Amino acid sequence: MNRHTKIAILIAPILAIGGYIASDLYVTNEAQQNRIFQLVSKASCDVLAGQCVLSRGELKVNVYDEDGVTTINTTFPIDSATLFLVNKADQSSAYPLQMSDSPYYWFNPTPLRADIATTGDTHKMRLILKIQGGQYISEFYTQTGG
């Protein structure tokens, strides 16, 4: 065995470990970058009746209102959630949601039920969810059914 082969055999494990560490650092850095995804509604939303499901891939978000408390539940645990109610002048009011018993359920009292009490009323809403460095956003309309 010549000198170059011996050096290559000694350096190869060091380069392999260094490459593994560098690739792990790269993947970790990429995972922490802000990513934005849009949640979409497959059908019309009626938040008061509990018939509003927003989705993106396997993430599904159910938005509903019970007795003036607007609640969301998700298929994956989330880090934070903010709901915006938008009036006719396109001014939004933010309602940061609080975690219920688990990171799958979030809630906050809102005036939504009073704003769309009549059948056929519509209201624009926005939702922002944060999940492990990613932001899931949605703008949708809820319409009171009969």
* pLDDT tens digits for range 1-46: 889 898 989 899 999 999 999 998 888 777 666 788 999 998 889 9
Averaged confidence pLDDT in the chain: 90
Q: Cα(58)–Cα(78) distance, rounded to whole angstroms?
A: 14
Lowest pLDDT segment from 20-34, 70-84, 85-99, 130-144: 20-34
pLDDT at residue 116, as a whole number = 83
Count of beta carbons in the 10 Å neighbourhood of residue 61: 23
Q: How far apart are CA 132 and CA 28, in angstroms?
A: 12
Per-residue pLDDT, 146: 61
Which residues pair with residue 70 across a beta bridge? 65, 108
